[in-house]
Amino acid sequence: MNVLLIGSGGREHALAWKLSRSPLLGQLFIWPGNPGTASLGENIPLPVDDHRAVSDLIHQKGIGMVICGPEAPLADGLMDFLADRHPDLALIGPGRSGARLESSKEFAKEFMLRHGIPTARYRSFGSREAEEAISFARSLGLPAVIKADGLAAGKGVVIAQTREETETEIRAMLEGRFGQASERLVIEEFLSGIEFSVFVLTNGDQYILLPEAKDYKRIGEGDTGPNTGGMGSVSPVPFADAALMDKVRDRIIEPTLRGLKQDGIPYRGFIFFGLIRVQGDPFVIEYNCRMGDPETESVMIRLESDLLQHCLDCHQNELNPGSVRVSSSHAATICLVSGGYPGDFEKGKKIEALPQTQPEEHIFFSGVSSKDGQLVTSGGRVFAVSCLGQDQLAALDQANRLADLIQFEGKYFRRDIGFDLK
Ligand code: AMP
Ligand code: GLY
């Protein structure tokens, strides 16, 4: 089967790597891809918001399946557009209605409330309700959790530590700091606990559980400084034991799938549950309608069963939880980022020759492009280095060693990924 994978980051490089190992794969196309995915398939260097061009390519190349990496094309209705034009095409990624689990925090909170799914207490507010929002935030106490309703590239959440900051942030957001995305706000109770990420592939009825992971969002060591898209990940997560995962299934995953059905929302694709464990119980921090980055890099190198087969099973309504095989090894991913990220950073830095890797070591490309045959940096997150080891320490040591060997001006990475979990 010919497959079109949409996206251009480390997540897509890892998905492309995993798909390329499937005996079921014919040709792999990546739209737009990056120089890493170019070695695994054919990159299509066109803007993804051109839905008609995607549809034409599906005809031209005899594509049987489209897998969408990032959330934006999903929120934009790409899958609805393709489903209308290509009735037999396998689509891995929800339509616009399912993508609202991620594209509107207010929608997601209302959904959880309606279906009894554990999450932080909240209220939502519109642009004329700054005073009400401030007084509600005060009633919840500090720190205050203020979230832009819409997609804001991972920057729409502020955890305000003081009353002044709370007030300034609420006003700035409602006055349009993130444009349309912050015309409405969700203000919610601060949950104190430890976060982890759970992933399923579902057709709306059946689901399979993929390996869980833990992401490190802050830029600085010791979880300090501003939030980023993610600075590293580990899988498995030692505290996600059978008892906790049973609660996740019973209280969160299955009620979510039942809720989607009850609300008449078709869903075929990945759901990423951003969870927090509070005194032994899981709560939902957020839903995403896609896999995580840099969690996917750790998840894919641990997944032993065939991802393409799972996606086909999803399309054919034959998802079988027993078919998922996961390595007992530990995965660690460390992101190498441009100096200055997540604030301003320079692009176009020359990347020195990459080190040779062993089979259990991977250098996934995130913000990398090719200029006159030379690899250069082109994003905040530049590489995700992922290693598999016998235990977490071995995987982390190896990933740190590989991260040291990659050279570009301004390179920064956290050396403490995963060490809090030992
Ligand atoms: P989100 O984009 O909703 O995942 O939020 C980004 C980050 O903010 C999360 O990964 C958490 O670290 C933090 N966060 C969000 N909501 C809460 C909450 N209710 N309590 C504590 N931390 C939160
Ligand atoms: N690493 C978090 C995310 O992909 O949203």
> Can you name the residues that pair with 197 across neighbouring β-strands?
213, 274
Residue among 105, 140, 157, 214 to mutate when testing ligand 1 (max atoms within 8 A of CB): 157
Fold entry, domain 2-95: Rossmann fold (3.40.50)
CB 190 within 8 A of CB 302: no
- Which atom number of ligand 1 is nearest to the Cα of residue 105? 3
Distance 146 CA to ligand 1 centre (A): 9
What gap in Å lies between CA 201 and CA 292, rounded to an integer? Answer: 13
Closest ligand (CA of 120) = 1
What gap in Å lies between CA 38 and CA 58, rounded to an integer? Answer: 19
Joined together, the tokens standing for residue 344 give 């301003």
Q: Which residue, judged by its Cα, is nearest atom 4 of ligand 2?
A: 292
Reduced to 3 states (helix: H, G, I; strand: E, B; else coil), residue 307 is helix
CB 289 within 8 A of CB 197: no
pLDDT tens digits, one per residue of 237-284: 999 999 999 999 999 999 999 999 999 999 999 999 999 999 999 999
> Of 250, 287, 268, 246, which Cα lies nearest the Cα of 116?
250
User: For position 226, what pLDDT does the model report?
Assistant: 87
- Helix residue spans in 115-221 (DSSP H): 130-140, 163-174
Cβ neighbours, 10 Å, residue 361: 19
Distance 118 CA to ligand 1 centre (A): 14
What gap in Å lies between CA 229 and CA 159, rounded to an integer? Answer: 16
User: For position 422, what pLDDT does the model report?
Assistant: 65
Residues of the chain with pLDDT below 50 are none
Distance 285 CA to ligand 1 centre (A): 6
Distance 158 CA to ligand 1 centre (A): 8
Distance 275 CA to ligand 1 centre (A): 9
Distance 214 CA to ligand 2 centre (A): 10
> Of 219, 204, 318, 331, which Cα lies nearest the Cα of 261?
204
User: Which amino acid is located at 309 in the chain?
Assistant: Q
CB within 6 Å of ligand 1 — which residues? Answer: 120, 145, 147, 157, 159, 188-191, 195, 217, 274, 285-286
pTM above 0.85, yes or no: yes
User: For position 289, what pLDDT does the model report?
Assistant: 98
Write out the residue limits of the CATH 3.40.50.20 domain(s) in the chain: 2-95
Reduced to 3 states (helix: H, G, I; strand: E, B; else coil), residue 66 is strand
Joined together, the tokens standing for residue 194 give 């430890």
Write out the residue limits of the CATH 3.30.1490.20 domain(s) in the chain: 122-188
pLDDT tens digits, one per residue of 313-330: 999 999 999 999 999 999
**Check whether domain 122-188 has CATH 3.30.1490.20, yes or no:** yes
Contacts of 158 (CB under 8 A, 6+ apart): 145, 146, 147, 165, 169, 173
CB within 6 Å of ligand 2 — which residues? Answer: 215, 229-230, 288, 292-293, 295
- Which atom number of ligand 1 is nearest to the Cα of residue 119? 19
Joined together, the tokens standing for residue 257 give 């799938």
Q: Which residue, judged by its Cα, is nearest atom 5 of ligand 2?
A: 292
Joined together, the tokens standing for residue 90 give 């396998």
User: For position 146, what pLDDT does the model report?
Assistant: 95
CB 406 within 8 A of CB 354: yes
